[in-house]
Structure 1
Amino acid sequence: MIYMDAAATAPAHQQVLDTISPLLTHDFGNPSSRHELGRNAERAVSWARNTVANELGVGEHEIYFTSGGTEADNLAVIGAALAAPRERKIITSAIEHPAVQDAAAFLAEHHGFTHELIPVDHEGVVDLAAAERLIDAKTAVVSVMAVNNEVGTIQPIAQLGRLARAAGAFMHTDAVQAAGWLDLSDLTPHVDALSISGHKIGALKAPGCSTTLPTTRSCRCCTAVASSAGCVRGPKTRPARRDRPAANRARTTRGRGRGGLRPLPD
């Protein structure tokens, strides 16, 4: 059989299996334990977090592992919305994954938020003019996927991020379908939170991750949710970032995540 549905899930890469096997059979300790097996497990978790952080171009303290992409999306959208002091509007594209749309619906039904949709054109690209009209000072969260999971449309995340930032809104992107194909470090300067999922790119089923970047306000509610599952970084100010050369911004990583893993530290 020729398998052509990796956008839904992909087989685990052999290097992943070789890396995880000793952690399931030998160094299986709880990473919070202070004995040798625990310290070995803690080093493995730190190595994994550092590996993901390098791919995203962020600090390893900004990476939090979840049970999958859906939880990472829920964490970012719901956590950021509930942490907003006054803003009561959630903006998503009309073609977001249910992980994001259902989170927005939950906020609307149970917490009094309004949920508005950015329309898309015949190719699935969001209407930036409509986005500019919708994203305003009442907006708590803007969430638009980086790459559509059905037709592969690449969304203008940089432009959307600028609109969100100008309005003081929290910008999240579901980059699950972008991982392994686009350079995610080109997305992170334009968003406050980004979600990915390992099983699309050769990792085991279930692991996901979310990164939350420096924002302009505290996110105490996110921190509470993150204690058991996910992502938040504490600093309240966004550091200035120098624009990278155009050649770097245009770089893609087709096949990254499939090309090899660095060895675990001794």
Structure 2
Amino acid sequence: MLTNVASKTPLYFPMGDQAIVIQFEHVISLETNKRVHTTAHLIETREIRGITQLIPAFNNLTVCYDPVLIGFGELITELKKLEEYDLEQVEIQSKTLHIPVVFGGRYGPDLEEIANHAKLTIEEVVALLQSKRYFTYMIGFIAGYPYCGDIDSRLSLPRRANPRVKVEKGTIQIVNNLTGIFTMTAPSGWHIVGWTPMEIFNPKSDPPSLLQAGDYIQYVPVSEEEVQQWDQDSQKAWDQKWNM
């Protein structure tokens, strides 16, 4: 059963006249986020009339709908029927995308600070970052940007006091228990640990993003020489080895 901190059931809120927000526990956790994605999967499989888009976030799901095809009350009734399901028994498909990353140096200027904070060597920090898969909680902020977690708690740092005005596309960064990959150049207050030549978002592709909420990523260290020589053939060979 879906739960909420206060009511033990999800809460439903209108967002304008064409969307409903299903609010789960007010926490950022893998368990709660999987409830979000499982609920979205159930909504898709039930093919409820009038739903136009589903937008999963850390702990809520926005359900967009056409009010000409289905009213607010009727849609709430349909959504509440999903509370009868045991979400832990619902299986949804996901994939793991392996990301080539050059860590440290000019590609990861904050790696030494993170290592000092964690009382580890830079090599130990890199080993921790590459040691596990990270769940994609949601896509947002900028086009195709994946919010992934959870990183090792020893590496957790709050946002930088002074954000950088320009962070390059492909930058691998961390903050608190999260990690993400910049899909375009933009400002950021996160801590930079590395860079990838792999393009995970292309507006000309269909779909434009290689990652969807509910997928996993795993970082694979590569050398600076490899990323400097990276091209379409390199990417093709990488995908054949890691992402088939």
Q: Answer 1 or 2: which has greater helix percent.
A: 1
Q: Answer 1 or 2: which has greater strand percent.
A: 2
Could you say which TM-score interval applies, normalised by the shorter chain?
under 0.3
Structure possessing the higher relative contact order (Cα contacts under 8 Å, 6 or more residues apart)? 1
Which protein is bigger by CA-based radius of gyration? 2
